[in-house]
Amino acid sequence: MKSSAPPQTYRVKSFGCQMNVYDGERMAELLAQRGITPAPEGEEADLVVLNTCHIREKAAEKVYSDIGRLVKAGREAGKEPLIAVAGCVAQAEGEEIMARAPAVSMVVGPQAYHRLPEMLDRAVKGERSTDTDMPPIAKFDSLPARRKSAPSAFLTVQEGCDKFCTYCVVPYTRGAEISRPFRDLVAEADKLVAAGAREITLLGQNVNAWSGEDDKGRTVGLGGLIRRLAGIDGLARIRYTTSHPADMNEDLIAAHGEVDKLMPYLHLPVQSGNDRVLKAMNRSHTAESYLRLLDRFRAARPDIALSGDFIVGFPGETDAEFADTLKLVDAVGYAQAYSFKYSPRPGTPAATMDGQIAPQVMDERLQRLQAALNRDQHAFNQASVGKRCAVLVERTGKLPGQWLGKSPWLQSVWFEGDAALGDLVEVELVEAGPNSLAGRLLASVPA
Ligand code: SAH
Ligand code: SF4
Ligand code: F3S
């Protein structure tokens, strides 16, 4: 590879889950520390970090088409960018990316990106490097302190997964479950709030598997961490995602009834409503145990909005088994949910199972499932009309004087009037669309 001038501008493009968004922000902070600035909108950057996702085939293949596009745009502009591939494709494919994409000079896994600056120094000299080490948690200690935050911030508290669902790559790309220390998280949350955050969403591939030692030396779970963070002045809202049914405990459920700042929303993926399929997926719950768990959350917080993830067309799934998923959806009444066609992933047990489902069958099942989920989402939004609630203002709307924010139940709400980013305002929800609600501004809620 040719040597190149040190980059002056960067762009980080994150795909996949919110943990990648968090990692992308941290990589941007590392680059900013080097004096590299974000490339202005519409301009080619000198350095592009593709922070990739390996969860489904489409997501993983996207990285190669993106690289192709970058190289082409670079040639047209007379200067090819330095390209780093980060994230879960980097972890899963490592050297393969180097072989397949000569334009890439850095491949860095999700546990190694604190070394990006050193890799960049080598890249400038024309040396290509790959780092997919998985040192336990060392990364966080080498990252710069948080200085800037949007009103709603992410905070990774837990990484990795030990669950090994048979369809999923995450245990391979992110490694074993690790919890960041309590005091580090409190310190980072303090910094985020001082930097402008009003809401913090605690992140983990299995966020509710988090555990640690609190300031009094007691072992606590996520509920204990949430109770401590709720004491931070200026922090108005706490959320967490994504949870696993097997890691739920009474204290976290109880926190939903006891901690005002903990928002009434739970994302608890179920994947299927059929017990045979769940077993073949190596999920540890049954449809019934999942429903009973949701009952406990509803008892603690009756207005809790429920969300989930679904996979249709897992190998061997019959029509009758898929119908059980629709039955479960009817029983829950999700406020919002994500649904995917099963995608065979290299190296996972399900990829070589008998009974792979034809694409047309998957399409048809996904359509039916999404119709049911959309119906329930619309019904949930409709049922919110007339309510008064706090909205955290996160963005400006399309028109002057328009604002966009989130309700406690994570619905997008837009309204007009006198407000500013980061405000918590009281609105009356006046109209429901399929994906958002219109609100009428009542008052600003004092911080
Ligand atoms: N740790 C979380 C989510 C991980 S990935 C959990 O266990 O719920 C996010 C979602 O992607 C999963 O919940 C699942 O619905 C979906 N997913 C994972 N692997 C997949 C695959 N091979 N094909 C299709 N969807 C998949
Ligand atoms: Fe993947 Fe299952 Fe782990 Fe979630 S719990 S990340 S679906 S293996
Ligand atoms: Fe994708 Fe990795 Fe997240 S595979 S969903 S970016 S953990």
pLDDT in tens, 274-332: 999 999 999 999 999 999 999 999 999 999 999 999 999 999 999 999 999 999 999 99
Cα of 158 from ligand 2 centre, angstroms: 13
Q: Does residue 130 have a cis bond before it (omega within 30 degrees)?
A: no
In this prediction, residue 187 carries a pLDDT of 96
What token pair was written down for 439?
């609100």
In this prediction, residue 78 carries a pLDDT of 85
In this prediction, residue 444 carries a pLDDT of 67
Which parts of the chain sit beneath pLDDT 50? none
What token pair was written down for 309?
């993830």
**Secondary structure E strands in 345-423:** 388-396, 402-406, 412-416
Give the CA radius of gyration of the chain. 22
Q: What is the Cα–Cα distance from 345 to 149, expressed in whole angstroms?
A: 35
In this prediction, residue 145 carries a pLDDT of 86
Environment class of 442 (CB within 10 Å of its CB; exposed 0-12, middle 13-18, buried 19+): middle
How many CB atoms are closer than 10 A to CB 408? 19
In this prediction, residue 446 carries a pLDDT of 52
Closest ligand 3 atom to residue 19 Cα is: 3
78: alpha, beta or left? (left if phi > 0; alpha if psi -120 to 50): left
Best of 91, 174, 205, 283 for a ligand 2 pocket test (most atoms within 8 Å of beta carbon)? 205
Cβ partners under 8 Å of residue 334, min gap 6 = 306, 307, 308, 373, 376, 377, 380
Q: How many C-alpha atoms does 357 have within 13 Å on its Cβ side?
A: 23
Contact 133, 109 (CB under 8 A): yes
Closest ligand 1 atom to residue 169 Cα is: 19
Report how far apart the first and last C-alpha atoms of the chain are (Å, whole number): 54
Cα of 410 from ligand 1 centre, angstroms: 21
Report the run of H or E that residue 266 belongs to, with start and end.
Answer: strand 265-267
Q: Is 169 in the pocket of ligand 3 (CB under 6 A)?
A: yes
Closest ligand 2 atom to residue 282 Cα is: 2
**Assigned superfamily of 9-137:** Methylthiotransferase, N-terminal domain (3.40.50.12160)
Q: Is 366 in the pocket of ligand 3 (CB under 6 A)?
A: no
Phi, psi (degrees; rounded to nearest 5) at 317: -65, 120
Helices (H) then strands (E): counts for the chain = 14, 21
Q: What is the Cα–Cα distance from 84 to 256, expressed in whole angstroms?
A: 41
Q: What is the Cα–Cα distance from 340 to 129, expressed in whole angstroms?
A: 34
Cα of 244 from ligand 2 centre, angstroms: 8
Where do the structural domains in the chain lie, given as residue ranges?
9-137, 145-262, 264-383, 388-444
Q: How many C-alpha atoms does 228 have within 13 Å on its Cβ side?
A: 22
Q: Is 92 in the pocket of ligand 3 (CB under 6 A)?
A: no
Q: Is 244 in the pocket of ligand 2 (CB under 6 A)?
A: yes
What token pair was written down for 289?
């145990």
Pick the CATH number of 388-444 from 2.40.50.140, 1.20.1080.10, 1.10.150.120, 3.30.70.1400: 2.40.50.140
Q: Whose CA is nearest to atom 7 of ligand 3?
A: 170
In this prediction, residue 142 carries a pLDDT of 86
Closest ligand 3 atom to residue 55 Cα is: 4
Best of 161, 278, 340 for a ligand 1 pocket test (most atoms within 8 Å of beta carbon)? 340
Pocket of ligand 1, beta carbon within 6 A: 55-56, 161, 167-168, 170, 205-206, 242, 244, 269, 271, 309, 311, 340, 342-343, 345
Phi, psi (degrees; rounded to nearest 5) at 269: -60, 140
What token pair was written down for 150?
């949007």
DSSP 280-341: HTT-S--HHHHHHHHHHHHHH-TT-EEEEEEEE--TT--HHHHHHHHHHHHHH--SEEEEEE
Residue (of 268, 204, 196) closest to 236 by Cα position: 196
The answer to whether the 145-262 and 264-383 domains have the same CATH topology is yes
Contact 243, 279 (CB under 8 A): no
Cα of 319 from ligand 1 centre, angstroms: 21
Q: What is the Cα–Cα distance from 67 to 281, expressed in whole angstroms?
A: 33
Cβ partners under 8 Å of residue 208, min gap 6 = 221, 222, 240, 243, 244, 247, 248, 249, 252
Closest ligand 3 atom to residue 89 Cα is: 4
Best of 203, 206, 279 for a ligand 2 pocket test (most atoms within 8 Å of beta carbon)? 206
Q: Whose CA is nearest to atom 4 of ligand 2?
A: 205
Phi, psi (degrees; rounded to nearest 5) at 77: -85, -5
CATH class of 145-262: alpha beta
In this prediction, residue 135 carries a pLDDT of 72
Contact 409, 265 (CB under 8 A): yes
Cα of 132 from ligand 2 centre, angstroms: 20
Q: What is the Cα–Cα distance from 106 to 10, expressed in whole angstroms?
A: 14
Phi, psi (degrees; rounded to nearest 5) at 46: -75, -30
CATH fold of 264-383 reads Transcription Regulator spoIIAA (3.30.750)
